[in-house]
Amino acid sequence: MKVRKAVIVAAGLGTRMLPASKVIPKEILPVVDKPAIQVVVEEAIASGIEEIILVLSPGRTMVREHFRRAEELERHLEQRGKTDLLDSIRTTNDPVRFTVAFQEQPLGLGHAVLQAREAVGDEPFAAMLPDDIFDAPKPCLRQLLDIAENKDAPTVALLRVPRSEIPKYGIVSVRTAGEKLYELTGMVEKPAIEKAPSDFAILGRYVLTPDIFELLANGKPGVGGEIQLTDGLLALCQRRKLYGYEFAGTRYDLGDRLGFLTAQIGFGLKRPELADSLRGWLKSVL
């Protein structure tokens, strides 16, 4: 299995981050000084992805614009000798091949992924959600790709979550298939705590085979009246082996206010020019 393309779902209304996302797509909100979408695109590139399909909402194309050249800004920085800043924005000028697909109505994550069907074609692909970003020794997506290529099978990222958070996620039932590796035997979207098959949640990184599109197209609306990707995955694991990998690294949920704040601190502490001052401030207020 060779994966060249990634689908990044940047559609939806970002209601969990209102009012900040009223005008600005939540994927543009910064992690220190990088928009979340840039962090995810950089992970994809570092994982060997050659083409990215951005699934956007109509009229909310700022995500794509971030990766276009800003000629006037570049001239301004060049004239003033601000080479470091100039270099930092030039690295965002179409760093990979982009294709855009639109989700006309917010009908669920599965429906959003389905909009990339034509651009993906008949080949395996990755799917990435910008709400989830990772600080990992090896890119989270690359970890999944290594498993998927070795097993020649679709693979998703797994995380053990506290019982109180189970109703927020797609939760899976599993059987052990290796170190931190599991074969998925079932799943349910946002179950009640007492009905959850495990404490393993699927997070926003997936390596999928193209037959998922047929399953999503024929799927019926699930939780919330939406086409759920979880339902498509459940149907997929009844056709072929589907693996989940308990990735190495730290995950931040940028769609959650606390996750957004902790991401600023976690990534800020990794920046040499910020770490000492930030650490000192944290000590002063704790």
What values do phi and psi take at 184, rounded to 5?
-85, 130
Residues 113 and 20 in one domain: yes
Distances (CA, A) of 278 to 32, 136, 259, 267: 12, 21, 18, 11
**DSSP 8-state code for residue 165:** G
Residues 125 and 261 in one domain: no
Helices (H), the chain: 36-46, 62-65, 71-79, 83-90, 109-114, 117-120, 140-151, 211-217, 229-237, 257-268, 272-285
pLDDT for 223 equals 66
Residues 211 and 99 in one domain: yes
pLDDT for 60 equals 86
Q: For residues 244 and 257, what is the distance between their CA atoms, to the nearest angstrom? A: 27
The structure tokens listed for 66 are: 């971030």
**DSSP 8-state code for residue 220:** P
Residues 201 and 263 in one domain: no
Q: For residues 77 and 210, what is the distance between their CA atoms, to the nearest angstrom? A: 44
pLDDT for 87 equals 94
The structure tokens listed for 40 are: 């995810």
Counting Cα atoms < 13 Å in the Cβ hemisphere of 14 gives 24
Provide the sign of the torsion angle of the four alpha carbons 72, 57, 92, 131, taken in this order.
Answer: positive
Segment 45-87, tens digit of pLDDT? 999 999 999 999 998 889 999 999 999 999 999 999 999 999 9
Q: Categorise residue 70: left if φ over 0, alpha if ψ from -120 to 50, beta otherwise.
A: beta
Residues 73 and 140 in one domain: yes
Residues 196 and 156 in one domain: yes
Residues 212 and 285 in one domain: no
The predicted model scores a pTM of 0.94
238: domain CATH number is 3.90.550.10
Residues 81 and 186 in one domain: yes
pLDDT for 16 equals 85
Segment 191-209, tens digit of pLDDT? 999 889 999 999 999 999 9
Residue type, 57: S
pLDDT for 130 equals 94
Structural domains in the chain (count)? 2
Residues 267 and 167 in one domain: no
pLDDT less than 70: residues of the chain: 223-224
> Does a cis peptide bond (omega within 30 degrees of 0) precede residue 106?
no
pLDDT for 227 equals 86
pLDDT for 221 equals 77
Residues 194 and 275 in one domain: no
Residues 52 and 139 in one domain: yes
Q: For residues 272 and 124, what is the distance between their CA atoms, to the nearest angstrom? A: 38
The parent domain of residue 277 ranges over: 256-286
pLDDT for 109 equals 92
Residues 77 and 211 in one domain: yes
